[in-house]
Chains A and B, each alone.
Chain A
């Protein structure tokens, strides 16, 4: 029974307190969490792309991509849309409430490996949070990368998460940030169209660029299709895969694709790895 597993075994969460809640959209909130046990918080470190299994006792447990900057040590964020039993229960939590956390789990985005490359990040809807945990440390180490291009698409202007961050990114001159919505409204003066329509507005050199994408499966499919058409190498297209997961540690079986488990071999895969999967994504 190792100490890093809390008081017991592989499936035993450690207690974490909700220390901040930010409303992102009408159905999405960002929860800032800190382990109740100080030592647990000090020991907790993760890499961009990893996830945690979050428990609301009585409602259950669900996996969420870590959304904060891994360089931030005092706490960590998850951004959650209320769609199911656990997420709805989570949305009812108040600041100060205690929930359970297991992790960090899963693999992570290549970071040091892409030093020197141009970076193209394509996020869709609630797929931006895990990418935020990649973008922020990239901006912390800005000189290590070539161009950083961020494209973000959401269904409507109201569906966009991290609106404060998006405005900051828009102002920055050391990155190129474009956003779009599928359907605009009276307040929206920006681009309208699915995220892949932003590809027309940028020029990239596929030979020196690594693309990272996260979003709904249908979006990922079209993004990858376009990146390939642009001439990207399958090794330079990095995406997360979504699968129903329960245990997060390769035992419950739900997230298996071929002989891999999204929870332990992923959730981050290159398109080269995905191509080898017999099962469609």
Chain B
């Protein structure tokens, strides 16, 4: 076996390998929650896995940057003592959908660069991502519009494709290769017929998407400053500023930092997820708030996703088409990404740009 290999394995063999890996690894995969919902959680056995799912509601970002995460503990007797967190456990994320895997590529770039976030990379480096390509999208899925699925070409350690009684197994990285070997996976080289079957599944899946997101049009409208201010004001009136869209977005990374005292001498500094949709997000101590109005925050969110951060800084969409904002938006069908793009598209009359954005 080597990186780049395309194999097939009986499903039972894949599960057997997973059970063998449990001795050394924390295995996280799709399980059935108490109310029947799908939740990615640590499993005690491959028997706990629940495969009839497309995507869980919570993105997997919480396994790399937990909702609240200690940055360090401190003790305040005499000269303060600071204690960084313990290294995280080794974990295998099993059955992750393509869109969520693609979001990780962005996180790797964002948390790397000039200032490397070692806490993120400590988790990232100790995590193996086994993705499961989608054969059936949800009605809310639109990864074909963002070029992030339903099958992956990169970003996975191992990619599985469900071929009925077998999985097609693609080995993406050395890390992926190592766990397949450690788990003792019994696999054989994929045949022409297997690849053909996969291609057919991909074709069938592509044909089932129903949600469209006019990414190109939205990017043009925003980048050229063609959206009328009234439209943002209208959307600002519709938004509840609940932050669900950002918390459930696999791409969103913002956090806040707070200290908490545990007793008179001990405490912890934690970071926790934050949202640009909250009114206090940009409020300064002086009271000055550059984005006090809800409309300004909604505007910021879409400029950020479709123009500023991702396109101008990173050269890709700020969206992976998972559809979680559609499911979670309290303004029901008005402010999720595909809905807003539809509104921008309708508004898209060829008008004189209000202001062209800089390229720098």
Contacts and interface: CB of A to CB of B under 8 A. Distances in A.
A binds B: yes
Interface of A: 1, 6-13, 15, 36, 55, 57-62, 83-84, 87, 98, 100, 216-217, 242-244, 246-247, 249-254, 256-259, 264, 273, 276, 278-281
19 contacts: A9-B71, A9-B84, A9-B117, A10-B116, A10-B119, A11-B71, A11-B72, A60-B269, A247-B255, A251-B115, A251-B255, A253-B253, A254-B282, A259-B307, A264-B114, A273-B360, A276-B360, A278-B303, A278-B357
B285 A276 contact: no
Contacts, number: 136
Nearest to B110: A251
B105 interface: no
A10 B115 contact: yes
Chain B interface residue bracket vs A: 35 or more
Contacts of A251: 110-111, 115, 117, 253, 255
B290 interface: yes
A98 B115 CA distance: 26
B190 interface: no
B35 interface: no
Interface in B33-85: 71-72, 74, 76, 79-80, 82, 84
Nearest to B79: A98
B74 A57 contact: yes
A174 B303 CA distance: 48
B218 to A, nearest CB: 16
Nearest to A218: B288
Contact of A8 (B84, B303, B313): B84
Contacts of A250: 113-115
B287 to A, nearest CB: 9
Given A58-B267, A276-B357, A258 B254 contact: no
Nearest to A250: B115
B264 to A, nearest CB: 9
A252 B118 contact: no
A247 B286 CA distance: 19
B115 A13 contact: no
Interface string B328-360: 000000000000000000000000000101101
Closest CB pairs A-B (n = 4) = A253-B254, A276-B358, A8-B84, A259-B308
B313 A259 contact: yes
Nearest to B289: A244
B200 interface: no
B304 interface: yes
B348 to A, nearest CB: 18
Nearest to B253: A253
Contacts of A8: 72, 82, 84, 118
A156 B254 CA distance: 39
Given A10-B115, A259-B308, 13 more contacts: A9-B119, A11-B72, A60-B259, A216-B286, A251-B111, A251-B115, A251-B117, A253-B253, A253-B254, A276-B358, A278-B225, A278-B355, A279-B300
A257 B312 CA distance: 13
Contacts of B288: 216-217, 242
A36 B80 CA distance: 11
A31 B130 CA distance: 52
B114 to A, nearest CB: 7
Given A58-B76, A242-B284, A12 B114 contact: no
B316 to A, nearest CB: 13
Interface string B98-137: 0000000000001101111111000000000000000000
A257 B271 CA distance: 22
Contact of A279 (B116, B276, B285, B290): B290
B203 interface: no
A100 B267 CA distance: 14
Contacts of B282: 243-244, 254
B274 interface: yes
B174 interface: no
A58 B84 contact: no
B226 to A, nearest CB: 12
Given A8-B72, A15-B80, A59 B116 contact: no
Nearest to B254: A253
B104 to A, nearest CB: 16
A75 to B, nearest CB: 18
Contacts of A98: 79-80
B283 interface: yes
A59 B76 CA distance: 12
A13 B81 CA distance: 11
A246 to B, nearest CB: 5
Interface in B223-255: 225, 253-255
A258 B357 contact: yes
A124 B172 CA distance: 57
A242 B290 CA distance: 10
A41 B186 CA distance: 58
A10 B257 CA distance: 13
B313 A7 contact: no
A83 B357 CA distance: 36
B285 A60 contact: no
Nearest to A85: B285
A13 B71 CA distance: 10
B281 interface: yes
A253 B111 CA distance: 12
B231 to A, nearest CB: 15
Interface in B252-302: 253-259, 261, 267, 269, 271, 274, 276, 281-286, 288, 290-291, 296, 300
B74 A259 contact: no
A251 B312 CA distance: 16
B309 interface: yes
Contacts of A243: 282, 284, 290
Nearest to A242: B284
